[in-house]
Structure 1
């Protein structure tokens, strides 16, 4: 079958030719195109670093280069000219600045929807999510994430909902739809002790034949012959740097790469192939908190999952790997100064997130105790004046709002203090309207144009897999 004519009657005639490094010779372009031309993508792995501004990608590559001498797997794919690359417009139907539900729905349903909504048009029309389309075509389908599995990004590929906050209902939809692997956090929406309606969704999944796993060892021991529901935390999983600083968390909580590998192992033998979404959801949460240790280390965790996907696709030869983000957030970057190198390198000593630090501080903490907590986590302390400023938030003298900041912790104030030492600046604590990075590897990657709308990705995946948009 000529894949370039496959959708000749569809809404997408072609997504175009490969985008290559303009400084590389044309032979490289022809080589990559000839490798993938007219090949069908039996499997699709889509990796999403949620809320990843370009500065986050850049800083993580610099951080790894300066710490280990080797940069990120994502940027190395660019350096080696092994992927097609584009910029993507991330707008929603209601705003040039999207939220994660509308962003995921643009990929999942193929249409832009209002912020806060999952695959329901502004007129109330439901759009069938792409993982359901692939299930109907005979493929296995799954999602793994570091936030609740019922959160906006995985849900956008799987369900219809007028509200992204209806996570109890989203858990029930997952049960009805029968996806093959769903792993992340979110026992708040599955446990009878934590759900408002007291339904035991864990029991319901078990009754339907799922293996329900709640620890890393349980996940590793799970059979690849049955569907898997993995829920490893009440809400989001611990930040990667906090997990890696705690032996117990390392033993009990799987990394994103480990979940990704398990999901691939579960589905790779299926005769009709599989589709898998891999999300680093807490890159977004760290950006909302201007939390540099959380941000860089969760991006590193994401990058380890990129390697898992690329390694599999290299051997498999039938897998399209898509690497991207849904929107920017906080737009962090390294600020110019004579000590910028050394200042940025100081982050290598950070062993805990700002979230961990600020939760250790209590209203009754002394100035010396605050300084000691910070020094333990960051490898350096702050001035008495800065410690007093931090404490003032715990006495109710000041307040900070913000998404995922339910305890009113002084994230912004503390990040500004750190910035004087680590040379990292932030423009905000919220999403931005950036055009974002999009990279593709494997069959179907040659279809990518230099600039796309987020909705184009829906149709590209269908075209690459030769699945008609008829459902």
Structure 2
């Protein structure tokens, strides 16, 4: 290869990461909306959703539940405009969630790890603040901590995505109208290092505090809402279905419907972000039961949103992901369909299943427990190998793998039985799906950058 040509190409590629999104938008063919403006916008993000995740959730839904997934049904019924999206950040072709959300939220590609902050300290005004200034109500709903990178990217500026205690305070200053997710440790004075009582601060600003699914049924009209339903993230959907202590946690669809009911009817409209955050965490763990069931939980939220948007007629819905993760998929082989369908026998996530094992378990204890949880029968060598992770002989690293559990090793055991493979345990740079419904959806081009969605929202609302 000609080295000079290669270096020139590399420079051009690098430059593509730093061009102004506004200038990129302006160089494209401008499509004006022939219809009305979007009064409301609901932006839905299945965090870390590779195309294989979307595919497997739809396959599982058709094979096991007897119906197509709501997202894919929108394609089948030709109800949406569809695009592929480049998800790169300013610092890498593979983004993290902070930079990805900042691309949507601030309209500028920033470096991984920061929220709407440039390399020289520039502060890019987040999109929900723009809409609040225009008189709309604004909110965020997620299955991880409400202060996590994806909701925060639509709302605040921060040099550190992990500054979640501070982000909780920033939300209070912004007086966002609806906030729902996990993260009690960032609001509860008993758990914060500085002992600040943020629940009291929010109550003083007129918020109603929600703590469980029953509270969603007793929301007071007109009140701002802070719903914090767990320490840390919310439980995975499949564990919520089968583990008694998790049953009082609301689903993403529950929270989404409650948020819409609280925001709708406002004279100037509303904007709402809905995130299936634990889809990403499941991919990081190569946890197929967690992944599919949380994607299906996101899919139920899609139905709730589209049902509202169809009735309302004034709502733009954007459905996408911020990046791929682990690129899972079904693998060709004998009995692939039967193997894949065996995932319907799984009662728990790998996280719950592996957390329940202790170093004093016998080989029989392990084989019995794995069979109860997954209907997989380990042989004695596999059981002894699994036990070695609990005796300090082996350990695994990985994001969100705080206890060094053997997520990767066990996913390889599962692959023999369910025909699902993974390329990694981390984010990927592949292009991702975008679907848009309602007024403004005609602005969506077939191939876009993540920053383009920021300007699409502003244009659709004529802000």
Does the alignment reach a TM-score above 0.5? Answer: yes
1:216-242 CA distance string (max 9 Å, x none): 111221112100000001100000000
1:298 to 288, 294, 298: 294
Determine whether 1:221 maps to 2:218. Answer: yes
Q: CA–CA distance in 1 between the matches of 2:27 and 2:232?
A: 40
Q: CA–CA distance in 2 between the matches of 1:293 and 1:132?
A: 37
Q: Which runs of 5+ in 1 are unaligned?
A: 1-9, 19-32
Determine whether 1:151 maps to 2:148. Answer: yes
Determine whether 1:230 maps to 2:204. Answer: no
Aligned residues of 2:376 and 2:417 also touching (Cα < 8 A): no
Q: CA–CA distance in 1 between the matches of 2:42 and 2:449?
A: 19
1:92-148 CA distance string (max 9 Å, x none): 011000000000000000000000000001221010000000000000000000000
1:317-341 CA distance string (max 9 Å, x none): 0000000000000000001001101
Shift of 1:249: 2.3
1:273 to 269, 281, 292: 269
Determine whether 1:387 maps to 2:383. Answer: yes
Determine whether 1:450 maps to 2:452. Answer: no
Q: CA–CA distance in 2 between the matches of 1:426 and 1:466?
A: 42
The number of residues matched between the two structures is 441
1:368-409 CA distance string (max 9 Å, x none): 111111111112321111111111111111110000001000
- Which of 77-86 and 215-224 deviates more? 215-224
1:198 to 162, 171, 195: 195
Provide the residue aligned with 2:343 in structure 1.
Answer: 347
Please provide the CA RMSD for this pair. 1.3
Provide the residue aligned with 2:396 in structure 1.
Answer: 400
Provide the residue aligned with 1:92 in structure 2.
Answer: 89
Q: Which runs of 5+ in 2 are unaligned?
A: 1-21
Provide the residue aligned with 2:365 in structure 1.
Answer: 369
Determine whether 1:359 maps to 2:355. Answer: yes
Distance 1:330 1:224, change over 3 A: same
Determine whether 1:308 maps to 2:317. Answer: no
Distance 1:16 1:242, change over 3 A: farther
2:426 to 427, 430, 440: 430
Provide the residue aligned with 2:408 in structure 1.
Answer: 412
Aligned residues of 1:108 and 1:157 also touching (Cα < 8 A): yes
Provide the residue aligned with 1:79 in structure 2.
Answer: 76
1:60 to 57, 60, 69: 57
Determine whether 1:178 maps to 2:152. Answer: no
1:63-92 CA distance string (max 9 Å, x none): 110012211000011111110000000000
1:328-356 CA distance string (max 9 Å, x none): 00000001001101100100111100000
Provide the residue aligned with 1:330 in structure 2.
Answer: 326
Aligned residues of 2:281 and 2:400 also touching (Cα < 8 A): yes
